[in-house]
């Protein structure tokens, strides 16, 4: 009984941080047209990078496909997506790593900034 109470108290003391717990929504694949990203980098479909509306450039995130459990780590280097309900645009390489080619339900977990 005492052990259960201590576990419950410890769980209540854990900090709750929105971005660390994850953002959920729909991921899409970039439609590359060449050129540069919003951060000034050259577009690279084979890189493990992504676009997010608000996370700072250089932020490292895990993206988890909620349909199949696959996970990929990407770096934010662009802005977008600009479609309601979508939370991240992945390069084709990132989408392949997650096992999708169009849209997928995902959770984003911020690892660093």
pLDDT for 112 beyond 90: no
Residue 4 inside a domain? The answer is no
State mean pLDDT over 91-108: 96
| Statement: residue 14 has pLDDT above 60 | no
- Residue 1 domain flag: no
**pLDDT at residue 15 above 70?**
no
Domain range holding 25? Answer: 18-112
Cα distance between residue 106 and residue 58, in whole Å: 20
Q: What is the pLDDT of residues 51-97, one digit of tens each?
A: 999 999 999 999 999 999 999 999 999 999 999 989 999 999 999 99
pLDDT at 34: 72
Contacts of 63 by beta carbon, 8 Å cutoff, 6+ apart: 27, 50, 71, 72, 73, 74, 88, 90, 94, 98, 106, 107, 108
Domain membership of residue 100 (yes or no) is yes
Domain assignment of residue 34, yes or no: yes
Q: What is the CATH number of the domain that holds 55?
A: 2.40.40.10
With respect to residue 7, please indicate whether it lies within any of the assigned structural domains: no
24 lies in some domain: yes
- Which pLDDT band, with edges at 50, 70 and 90, does 108 fall under? very high
Between 64 and 43, whose confidence is greater? 64
34 or 41, which is more confident:
41
Q: Of 38, 25, 44, nearest to 91 (Cα)?
A: 44
Report the domain count for the chain: 1
């Amino acid at each position: 009984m005492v052990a259960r109470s201590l576990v419950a108290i410890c769980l209540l003391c854990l900090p709750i941080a929105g971005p660390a717990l994850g953002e959920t929504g729909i991921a899409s694949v970039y439609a590359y047209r060449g050129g540069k990203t919003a951060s000034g980098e050259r577009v690279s479909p084979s890189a493990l990078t992504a676009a997010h509306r608000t996370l700072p450039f250089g932020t490292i995130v895990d993206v988890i496909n909620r349909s199949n459990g696959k996970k990929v780590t990407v770096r934010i280097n662009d802005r977008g997506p600009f479609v309601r309900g979508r939370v991240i645009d992945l390069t084709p390489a990132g989408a392949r790593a997650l096992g999708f080619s169009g849209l997928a339900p995902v959770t984003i977990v911020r690892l660093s900034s």
